[in-house]
Amino acid sequence: MSSDFRKVSFDEDHPGARFLADHVFQLEAGCGLLALADGLPNAAKHHVAPRLIRIFADAWRGHVCFHEQVMYPLLKRRYGDQQCERMAIFERQHADISFANDELAETLRMVEMGTVGSDALAYLLRNVAERQRDHLETEHAFFLPTIPEALFPIERKTYSDWVASNPWPLINEKFF
């Protein structure tokens, strides 16, 4: 996937720029999940673990929001129903990974209470990271070839308006 990043470039007000930046951010979040898993059981006792899990979940929500509110509508307008089946698969994956992120937070609480061992949390952390990476690679291969031609001037304005009301990254500030 990294070689694709060098082949394509977008100006900063094109959705493709945010698409690429979001994918890099999501891949780094996945590395963070794996690092947290590698640090268990001690990492679960540290006060930063719940914040990291929440940050990664918030970042994922930002990814889903961007795709549902920007990428999918752009591509549906441009390519019609031929892309809807693939987008439905991505939407299911988004929902599954979001659910897994919620499960991570709940499992961390149970580890902190001593009702579940840290092995269960490590398994979930690795599972979520792998699912995100697989999803991102598939999404990247699917969307990247279509993004450059999917934007008309009016869509660029719509995208700029969306960005103004959805700064990136989307992080829930109540955890800081």
Better-scored residue on pLDDT, 144 or 26:
26
pLDDT of 176 reads 38
Averaged pLDDT, 160-168: 81
Q: For residue 93, name the pLDDT band (cuts at 50, 70, 90).
A: very high
Using alpha carbons, select from 8, 50, 6, 52 the residue that is nearest to residue 32.
52
Express each pLDDT in 100-140 by its tens digit: 999 998 998 888 888 888 899 899 999 999 999 999 998 88
Q: How many CA atoms lie within 13 A of 32 on its CB side?
A: 18
pLDDT of 3 reads 46
Is this prediction's pTM over 0.85?
no
Using alpha carbons, select from 62, 15, 9 the residue that is nearest to residue 156.
15
**Cα distance between residue 34 and residue 74, in whole Å:** 33
Averaged pLDDT, 56-63: 90
Averaged pLDDT, 7-13: 72
Q: For residue 174, name the pLDDT band (cuts at 50, 70, 90).
A: very low
Express each pLDDT in 26-38 by its tens digit: 999 999 999 989 9
What counts of helices (H) and strands (E) characterise the chain? 8, 0
Q: For residue 92, name the pLDDT band (cuts at 50, 70, 90).
A: very high
Return mean pLDDT, the chain.
82
Averaged pLDDT, 16-42: 89
pLDDT of 136 reads 93
